[in-house]
Structure 1
Amino acid sequence: MSSEINRQWLFVKRPTGPVDESCFEKVESALPQLDDGQVLFKNLYFSFDASMRTWMNDGPNYLEPLKLGEPMRSVTLAEVVQSKNSEFPIGRKVMGMHAWEDYSVSNGVGFSQLLPDLPGIPPSYFLGALGPTGYTAYFGMMDIGQPKKGDSVLISGAAGAVGSIAGQIAKINGCRVVGLAGSDEKCQWIEQECGYDRAINYKTCMDLTETLKELFPDGIDIYFDNVGGQVLDAALANLAQYARIVSCGVLSGYDTGTNPSVPIKNIWMLLIREAKMQGFLISSYMHRAQEAATYLGTYINSGEIVFREHMEEGFDRAPQTLKLLYTGKNNGKLLLKL
């Protein structure tokens, strides 16, 4: 195994606007010998999440910014191929935050989640609906949104990996759900497959604030926000009394190269509607992962939660695959199979 070549994608340039291939450089090196306590992981999948763009900025974030010259990172799913660590037997599949590379050597730190082998469940599901993506939808909706039967719910990024599941959780809890998506095909999917009551193509909607006023005459009880920006402002203008806003992401500003915050005119509606707006990080909920996995697994098995994966293939496609997130060209959870 020591004669194998390990390919890596290094982060070499901070983007000042949309991320592109020039931000990365592919290098190759020989695999090192393992020391006692170390494990050699073969990466099988890279997961792509919108917040990865913010790690490339040289500023404060919930994770340390990437340093120029170090490997690009993401959540990966890997298999143990060599081990000098009894906690990681050969053949065990694991998941964690690691580098864009064929092989990763570690003492186990960063690959803390050991994955079960479940008949009929592809490993990739643990990066999506049965992993951090599904957990984000579950804890955001259930803990912060606190859906009640009869609530009116708005989801932005509703055809995305998180948004589509969040909306279905709201439906399971007896809510009326409207989704915002960026194409007619995505709108059709969330209505016909995910069971949303209505879907709006925000790119062709002439006046989103007025459209939401018509769709929510009594106001929005829960807004699950994945995009921020003008969509957030339109939702703020249409809140119900005691509304809850789940601040999950700011996709509208991630790929600008600047702080994703934009001027919000209607923030005062939080005051007069006595509403709550709360951000959250899934890392703060991982101690409850089994709770989320049990809930999601139950409704996936029953067919009440559906999802889709967008699978790219090939190590060399990693930079191009990341770009898909910010152009809206992915359909479902975006993954790269090595």
Structure 2
Amino acid sequence: MSNLNNRQWLFVKRPIGPVDESCFRRVEVGMPEIGVGQIILQNLYFSFDASMRTWMNEGPNYLEPVVLGQPMRSVTLAKIIKSRHPDFPVGEIVMGMNSWEDYSVSSGEGFCQLLPNIPDIPLSYFLGALGPTGYTAYFGMIDIGRPKTGEAVLVSGAAGAVGSIAGQIAKLYGCFVVGLAGSKEKCEWLVDECGYDLAINYKECDDLDGKLAGVFPNGIDIFFDNVGGATLDSALANIGNNARIISCGAISGYDAGENPSVPIKNHWMLLIREAKMQGFLVSSYMHRAVEAAEYLGTHISNGDIIFREHIEEGFDSAPSVLKMLYAGKNTGKLILKL
């Protein structure tokens, strides 16, 4: 192993505003040996998720910021090629948080899980519908949203990997589901393939508050929010009694840098509608990963949940693929195949 070249993408500049290729530098290093209780992973796929932008900032977050001069990181699928750990045999595939590199060393602690045995599922799905993406949609909608038949649901970032699954779960519970997306094509996909009742192109909507008032005359019961900012404010203006707002992401502010976020004016609606707004991290639910995987795997196999992937290829493409994510140029869960 010591003679292998290990390509890495180092994180060398904190972005102010949108991330670009200048934030990274490609290097090659040797492969270290491992000790007792460690494994060597050959990374096969990198996952690209909106929250990665927040890891590049200094300041408090749910994960420590990526250290300048160290490799960038993401959730990966990887194959165990050498093991001195009894619970992680050679040849198994694991999902975990690893660096942008060909080979990673792990002790198997923290976020490093052997894949469950679900037949006839593409391997890449374990970064998407059957990985943290699907788990986020599942636990956010089921545990916090608590959908009931006939309730009215709004999903922002609905054509994204998380949002599209969250809305489909709500449909399985018999809800009326509306999605917000940024193009005609995405809106058509939500309705025609994902089964949403309605999709709104927010880029062509001059008065989102008024549009939502017309669509939800009795108020929004569940809002699964991936966007935050002005979109959240419009949804808050239209929530119903005892509404549940699932704060999953705030992608509208990820590139804000030092600029202030959009002020939220309608938070008082939480009070007068006796509503609840709750944030969550999927990492807090990983002890229930098998539950989510079985639910999602069953409904995907049955065709009840549709999932779309966008797979790019090549290790050298990693920085440009990340940039693609924030430009909204992907059409589904964005993954890099090494």
Q: What TM-score range do you get, normalising by the shorter chain?
A: over 0.9
User: Which region of structure 1 is more displaced relative to structure 2, 298-307 or 103-112?
Assistant: 103-112
Paired position in structure 1 for 2:327: 327
Paired position in structure 2 for 1:73: 73
Paired position in structure 1 for 2:59: 59
Matched residues in 2 for 1:111 and 1:179: separation?
Answer: 31
Pairing of 1:275-294 with structure 2 (within 5 A): 275-294=275-294
Matched residues in 1 for 2:4 and 2:335: separation?
Answer: 24
Q: 1:118 offset after TM fit, Å? A: 4.0
Structure 1: any 5+ residue segments left out of the alignment? none
Q: 1:81 offset after TM fit, Å? A: 1.0
User: Which region of structure 1 is more displaced relative to structure 2, 275-284 or 253-262?
Assistant: 253-262
Q: Does 1:49 align with 2:53?
A: no
Question: Normalising by structure 2, what TM-score?
Answer: 0.97
Paired position in structure 2 for 1:307: 307
Matched residues in 2 for 1:291 and 1:110: separation?
Answer: 19
Paired position in structure 2 for 1:140: 140
Q: 1:332 offset after TM fit, Å? A: 1.1
The residue type equivalent to 1:192 in the other structure is D
Q: Does 1:239 align with 2:252?
A: no
Paired position in structure 1 for 2:152: 152
The residue type equivalent to 1:205 in the other structure is C
Please say if residues 250 and 260 of structure 1, whose CA atoms lie closer than 8 Å, have aligned partners that are also in contact: no
User: Which region of structure 1 is more displaced relative to structure 2, 210-219 or 252-261?
Assistant: 252-261
Matched residues in 2 for 1:327 and 1:260: separation?
Answer: 21
* Residue-by-residue CA offset, 1:50-75 (whole Å, 9 max, x unaligned): 01100111100011111111110111
Pairing of 1:91-170 with structure 2 (within 5 A): 91-110=91-110, 112-170=112-170
Task: Report the secondary structure of 1:17's partner residue.
Answer: coil
Q: 1:110 offset after TM fit, Å? A: 4.7
Q: 1:226 offset after TM fit, Å? A: 0.3
Please say if residues 221 and 243 of structure 2, whose CA atoms lie closer than 8 Å, have aligned partners that are also in contact: yes
Q: 1:163 offset after TM fit, Å? A: 0.2
Q: 1:122 offset after TM fit, Å? A: 1.5
The residue type equivalent to 1:316 in the other structure is D
The residue type equivalent to 1:90 in the other structure is V
Matched residues in 2 for 1:226 and 1:336: separation?
Answer: 22
Structure 2: any 5+ residue segments left out of the alignment? none
The residue type equivalent to 1:320 in the other structure is S
The sequence identity of aligned pairs, in percent, is 72
Task: Report the secondary structure of 1:297's partner residue.
Answer: helix
Pairing of 1:170-249 with structure 2 (within 5 A): 170-249=170-249
Matched residues in 2 for 1:27 and 1:263: separation?
Answer: 42
* Residue-by-residue CA offset, 1:195-221 (whole Å, 9 max, x unaligned): 000001101111111110110111111
Please say if residues 5 and 31 of structure 2, whose CA atoms lie closer than 8 Å, have aligned partners that are also in contact: yes
Please say if residues 45 and 77 of structure 1, whose CA atoms lie closer than 8 Å, have aligned partners that are also in contact: yes
Moved over 6 A (4+): none
Please say if residues 41 and 105 of structure 1, whose CA atoms lie closer than 8 Å, have aligned partners that are also in contact: yes
Distance 1:88 1:227, change over 3 A: same
Q: How many residues align?
A: 338
Matched residues in 1 for 2:209 and 2:216: separation?
Answer: 10
The residue type equivalent to 2:277 in the other structure is M
Q: 1:257 offset after TM fit, Å? A: 2.0
Q: 1:290 offset after TM fit, Å? A: 1.3
Q: 1:260 offset after TM fit, Å? A: 7.5
Paired position in structure 1 for 2:24: 24
Please say if residues 97 and 112 of structure 2, whose CA atoms lie closer than 8 Å, have aligned partners that are also in contact: no
Distance 1:81 1:111, change over 3 A: farther
Distance 1:78 1:136, change over 3 A: same
Matched residues in 1 for 2:236 and 2:111: separation?
Answer: 39
Task: Report the secondary structure of 2:203's partner residue.
Answer: coil
Paired position in structure 2 for 1:272: 272
Matched residues in 2 for 1:154 and 1:166: separation?
Answer: 10
* Residue-by-residue CA offset, 1:99-127 (whole Å, 9 max, x unaligned): 00000122223562001454321211111
Matched residues in 2 for 1:16 and 1:253: separation?
Answer: 12
Matched residues in 2 for 1:215 and 1:237: separation?
Answer: 13
Task: Report the secondary structure of 2:204's partner residue.
Answer: coil
User: Which region of structure 1 is more displaced relative to structure 2, 47-56 or 324-333?
Assistant: 324-333
Matched residues in 1 for 2:260 and 2:178: separation?
Answer: 25
Matched residues in 2 for 1:168 and 1:12: separation?
Answer: 39
